Structure 1
Amino acid sequence: MKYLIAGLGNIGSEYHYTRHNIGFRVLDALAEASNAVFKDRRYGFVTEIRVKNKTLVLLKPSTYMNLSGNAIRYWLKEEKIPVENLLVVVDDLALPFGTLRLKGKGSDAGHNGLKHIQDILSTQNYARLRFGVGNDFPKGAQVHYVLSPFSEEEEKELPAKLETCGEIIKTFCLAGIQTAMNQYNNK
């Protein structure tokens, strides 16, 4: 059975360490833990890992955040993966830094990447793992905030959070969303 795990972010070295690119960083950590290497493919950087009897297709869209739906639609079709087996990893301003929330469906909550995915797939019914990046910014400075790097303190905490994200993703694929939500959303 195959799953598409899409980590949202923007391509380019200037974006690599920004809060908005946490989806890319989660997938980088997951791939690295499995010695998998991303290849530049159509609409994104793609690799596969195996978790027991499951194949996880990891996708970092190269379409930029606001057009993420194009890459996700293409790879769902290309790999013949049903939308129920899609998990999108995304930054979330509404959650304190490092808070992780797995959801089976929901609104885009003002996130342009999620909005485009919803528009392209014509559904809100896909799983997403929200990674809290906090909201410590003055009114009107949201764009600057998400496109800025994490603080030194936050960077020190990231490896453990990235590892937990990997565990959540694996549990989602092996045991299902309900089990993964019950296990991790209360932490």
Structure 2
Amino acid sequence: MKLIVGLGNPGKEYAKTRHNVGFWCVEAWLKTLSGVREKGKWDAQIVETNVRTEPVILMRPQTFMNRSGLSVARAVREKGLDPERDLLVIYDDMDLPAGALRLREKGSSGGHNGIKSIIQELGTQNFARIRVGIGRPEPGILVIDHVLHAFSRDDRIRVEAAVDRAVEAAQAFCVESFPLVMNRFNSASNVK
């Protein structure tokens, strides 16, 4: 079984913000499915589906970003998952230009509070990630204001394309080795 987690903040006021790109990826995947409904479990919205024959749980934690690890850890423990093999987290990254993708097998939080929470709750940094670039704030703009506001029109177009690529990469993660997935999607993720 695979657990695919998109990070974001619950609530309509955050739905279109840069910090919710992880939610956008789960929502884009859900649009490709028929006859499934989200349900509440582990303080998250989840859907159980399959990629080929692999069972998959799609998750959007509803705990706010800085407590995302609580939902993820509960699911990992209850389902007996190995974070290093079975978990993929998709989230926004200011250190990448808007619309860029970067896949990694492990690493630090890089200052991202959602990843920091997951690392703390799981007790490991060894889990797969897809980072979706949202770009840095303009000079004089606070980080919090940057991540909690909507994209410009041009950046949104680039990020929506990246969301589609992130969903393809996440689906591939479910049935292929992650090094192969990283090789394919990292090399193809340059922003045009």
Say whether the fold is shared (TM-score over 0.5).
yes
Q: Which residue of 1 aligns with 2:80?
A: 80
Paired with 1:20 and 1:114, the residues of 2 have a C-alpha distance of 12
Q: Which residue of 1 aligns with 2:28?
A: 29
User: Which residues in structure 2 correspond to 1:1-187 (within 5 Å)?
Assistant: 2-35=1-34, 36-83=36-83, 84-139=85-140, 141-187=142-188
How far did residue 79 of structure 1 move?
A: 2.2
- TM-superposed CA distance for 1:162, in Å, is 1.9
Is the Cα–Cα contact under 8 Å of residues 26 and 166 in structure 1 kept in the other structure? yes
**Contact 2:76–2:82 (8 Å) recurs in 1:** yes
Could you say what secondary structure the match of 1:4 adopts? strand
Q: In structure 1, what residue type is equivalent to 2:183?
A: N
The separation in 2 between residues aligned to 1:179 and 1:25, in whole angstroms, is 24
Could you tell me which amino acid in structure 1 is paired with residue 168 of structure 2?
E
- TM-score w.r.t. the length of structure 1 is 0.94
Please list the CA deviations of residues 35-68 of structure 1 after superposition, one character each: whole Å capped at 9, or x if unmatched. 3332222310000221101111011001100001
In structure 1, give the amino acid aligned to 2:48: E
Partners in 2 of 1:139 and 1:153 — Cα distance? 21
Secondary structure of the structure 1 residue equivalent to 2:175: helix
Once the two structures are superposed, residues 65-114 of structure 1 have per-residue CA deviations (whole angstroms, 9 ceiling, x without a partner) of 00011000001122222212100001000000011111000110011111
Stretches of structure 2 that go unaligned for 5 or more consecutive residues are: none
Structure 1 residue matching 2:9: 3-state secondary structure:
coil
State the identity %: 37
Paired with 1:177 and 1:72, the residues of 2 have a C-alpha distance of 20
Unaligned runs of 5+ in 1: none
Deviation of 1:140 after TM superposition, in Å, equals 5.7
Paired with 2:168 and 2:113, the residues of 1 have a C-alpha distance of 26
Supply the distance in 1 between the matched residues of 2:108 and 2:185 (Cα, whole angstroms).
Answer: 21
What is the TM-score with the length of structure 2 in the denominator?
0.92
Aligned with 1:11: secondary structure?
coil
SS in 2 for 1:14: helix
Task: Give the AA of the match of 2:67.
Answer: L
Aligned-partner Cα distance in 2 for 1:128–1:14: 26
User: How many positions carry a matched residue from both structures?
Assistant: 186
Change (3 A) 1:139 1:119: farther
1:17-45 CA-to-partner distances (Å, cap 9, x unmatched) read 10000000100001111233322223100
